[in-house]
Amino acid sequence: MIRHVLLGCLMIHCTIADPKGGEGTVPLPPLPKRTWLTLHGDEPFVVANGGFSGLYPQQSDIAFSQSIIYGKGGTVLLCDLHMSRNRQGFCLSQLNLQNTTNAADAFPNRRKTYIVNGKELQGWFALDFTSDEMLGKLIVTQSIFSRTDLFDFSSPYPTDLFLEDNKNALVWINAEYATFYNQHKLSLVDHIKKLLEIKKDISYISSPEIGFLKSMGPIVHGLKTKLMFKFPTDINAVEPTTNEPYASILKKLSMIKTFAAGIVVPREYIWPVNKARYLEPSTNLVADAHKQGVEVFAYGFANDNFLPHNYSYDPQREYLQFIDNSHFAVDGVVTDFPTSASTAIACLAGSKNASRKVPSKEMNLCAMKKLTLIISANGANGDYPGSTDLAYQKAVDDGADIIDCSVQMTKDRVAFCLPSVDLIPTTTASGSFMSRAAKVASIQSSMGIFSFDFTWDEILSLKPQMFSEFNGDLARDPARKNVGKFVTLSDFLEFAKAKAVPGVLINIEVIFFSTLHYICIFLDFRAITNCNLVVFKNAAYLAANKGLDIVGAVTTALSNATLDKQSTKKVLIMSAESSVLDKFKDIPTYQKVLHIKKQVEFVTNQTALEIKKHADAVFLHKHSLYTQFRGEGFTLNFTNLIERMHWANVSVYAGTVLNEFQDIYMDYSSDPYTLIHNLIYYGADGIITQYPSTVNAYTRNLCTGNLESYRIPDINPGDVITSALDPKEVAEYKPPPPVHLETKDFVTPPLPPVAAITKDNDDKGSASNNTNTNASPSSSPPPAQAQAPSSATAATINVVAFFIATMLGLVTLL
């Protein structure tokens, strides 16, 4: 099936973005040949570390075959050589089989202890098994536990079969433990001699042992094979032949040149990373090696690494740092995700000033179509605290077409931009205003500290706070945690006009997921289940209970900015409430966007037409575009939402797209670029993202529309699992009934009139801020006030608030 996907990739052409949406055909010229800053001026190589090991078990037959399918032409397949007791070579990722095979379960009594490079190592080892035992009882397993085990079914891959299966591919044999195997009368040199009889053009042979490489020199003399000296992650480790630290040997590049064509080093040897996970200045290693005629390959690349904060969790930016930095380029990258490295090298390098393009399903032509919109989510919220001046400036700098403001109200009627009406997740309010914590059931199900209980001056006394759906090692840049300034709606609109941004999106809602839903989605996003969704109406509550007219405030601000009297700048009004959108129906230049917060899988024609009565576009959760397979983090089938929305002439904006790998289904290789490519390929008219730079970089890639270049894979839902698993296993899975989008999910009663709240009542202080109401927003009696917390309960509230804040760290905020 994936081979069919590849065929589809080869048949798909592109469109050059036409901002006016015109029709026509414009063939793209082939890309000019580029001179790189590698040693020989050639394009850097992509080396698949044990195959496509980011998705499939490392060194398995399926991992290698998928590398050929998904990687760019010339992708090199790297096999780590290990030996069985009867001298059969196998591709295995580690000397100790404990975490890479089922050896501990299949042979519980074969546990051994060996001295390896002077250190004691306990576990299961290939040299203690015959090849028949390995092929008969062992299976290769995914060694990184955060990755899927769905494809753990292949036997260890014999090296001779590996070469026979990949006769037309570039291959690399890494011989890591020659001295250890010699001590046990197993010769890696002799085995590689036999492998060279099967395939004389083995491209690379590497080892961290100088003695081994010197022994291989005469054997590969006259062949195209290059010998590569591999350095370990611990630069202070001792090389076994010379008993000299690798740190000392690294300074002797001219000596290395006498026995090796190049070096293979951890990427930190080139771009060091400090303990706080920020890049240090680059070393001179690549430049110095190239001066000596020594090639440099960097290893350790993976999309699911905890990347330095400099990259904003964008895996492609890390590759580009090594191959497109204007000073040097490594000669190759060794990666667990060859498709991502291929995209970086073939499509993104040198594309900064390229024109924007979008993929198209048309064959044999490039049909011009409307540009896929890049819509920010609270500005560049992945890089700065959301809805701050810095987040908006970054979004503009990063090429957003539409910048957004989620409108909140203060009690003195100032409309301003903030991701949440609850100040806890995105400001420092929980530090100094815990006494104002309240539970307002008409807004959210948990306690919060709400903007409508604060004056604008009190808001300004706070600091913004970086919000992330993920914590721990995936926390966002701590150096920017509390930077930036809050922005009023009026200032936001003036900023957009001054920066000539093509459009603005005004979000009039605050709709939260219940804590249960947070956990269901983000504690293990790749096992999303159908959890309850709690939807609360903010505009109605503010009107009826706080005397705040958020719709009126937005209308006035847009009018004062004269955006209601022009048609050149796009104005998008978004809400999950039809009653809010209907308030703007008399201004035809405004595009009304219905936010479908509920994750749904099916919509009827009738419901789609009902949406069209209220909205011109919908914002859909990206996971609503496809169903998933067994909660395993893989897609299964398309839903009908894009098709039905387009049928009803409703545009579709998909989001929220994040860079963090844990938010991306595994079909898309934990790569935001692959996800973005396929969302657009599926038909999304816009991408809503907290990282506009990533979407912008994708739209400028050099591969879309050039038939001679590498093709970013078009992955239809279900392609990955149906190509790898037994068809019966896939067919036997019966997904739950699809969740339907219904009119009751978005059609809301008319907004209530704005209540007349007297100034005396408005100034009663924090007592009124601790309102606990379950009354309907349209009910006429004022809600009953909850008692202010006593000193005896203050500590409890603080503990509860801390727990809430922690849970809110798992929420997706627009």
- Residues 212-253 have pLDDT tens digits of 999 999 999 999 999 999 999 999 999 999 999 999 999 999
Q: What is the mean pLDDT of residues 183-203?
A: 97
Q: Does the pLDDT value for residue 488 go beyond 60? A: yes
Identify the DSSP state of 479. Answer: G
| Whether the Cβ atoms of residue 611 and residue 648 lie closer than 8 Å to each other | yes
Of 161, 147, 149, 93, the residue nearest 334 (C-alpha): 93
Q: For residues 1 and 371, give the distance between their C-alpha atoms in angstroms, rounded to a whole number.
A: 30
Confidence of residue 34 (pLDDT cuts 50, 70, 90): confident
Of 48, 6, 16, 659, the residue nearest 334 (C-alpha): 48
Q: What are phi and psi of 573, to 5 degrees?
A: -110, 120
| Whether the Cβ atoms of residue 555 and residue 563 lie closer than 8 Å to each other | no
pLDDT in tens, 787-808: 333 333 333 334 334 444 434 4
Q: For residues 135 and 670, give the distance between their C-alpha atoms in angstroms, rounded to a whole number.
A: 31
Q: How far is CA 252 from CA 210, 246, 255, 292, 370, in A?
A: 13, 10, 5, 10, 56
Q: Is the peptide bond before 372 cis (omega within 30 degrees of 0)?
A: no
Lowest-confidence pick of 367-371, 440-444, 525-529, 657-661: 525-529
The sign of the dihedral angle between the CA atoms of 258, 259, 260, 265 is negative
Strand ranges (DSSP E) for 177-252?
Answer: 204-207, 226-230, 238-239, 244-245
Q: For residues 173 and 175, give the distance between their C-alpha atoms in angstroms, rounded to a whole number.
A: 6
Between 147 and 517, the more confident residue is: 147
Amino acid at 443: I
b/e per residue 591-613 (b: at least 16 CB within 10 A): bbbbbbbbbbbbbeeebbebbbe
Strand ranges (DSSP E) for 608-691?
Answer: 617-621, 626-628, 635-638, 651-657, 686-689
pTM: 0.88
Confidence of residue 540 (pLDDT cuts 50, 70, 90): confident
Residue position matching structure tokens 């090429």:
399
Lowest-confidence pick of 247-261, 514-528, 545-559: 514-528
Q: Does the pLDDT value for residue 33 go beyond 90? A: no
Residue ranges of alpha helices (H) inside 648-779 are: 672-682, 692-699, 719-724, 727-732, 759-762
| Whether the Cβ atoms of residue 71 and residue 342 lie closer than 8 Å to each other | yes
| Whether the Cβ atoms of residue 126 and residue 90 lie closer than 8 Å to each other | yes
Strand ranges (DSSP E) for 260-414?
Answer: 262-266, 295-301, 332-335, 357-359, 373-376, 402-409
Classify the phi-psi angles of 585: left when phi > 0, otherwise alpha if psi is within -120 to 50, otherwise beta: alpha
- pLDDT value, residue 761: 53
- Counting residues of the chain whose pLDDT is more than 70, the rounded percentage is 84
Q: How far is CA 52 from CA 67, 334, 339, 637, in A?
A: 5, 11, 8, 23
Secondary structure class of 628 (helix, strand, coil): strand
Q: How far is CA 357 from CA 314, 370, 622, 674, in A?
A: 20, 10, 21, 15
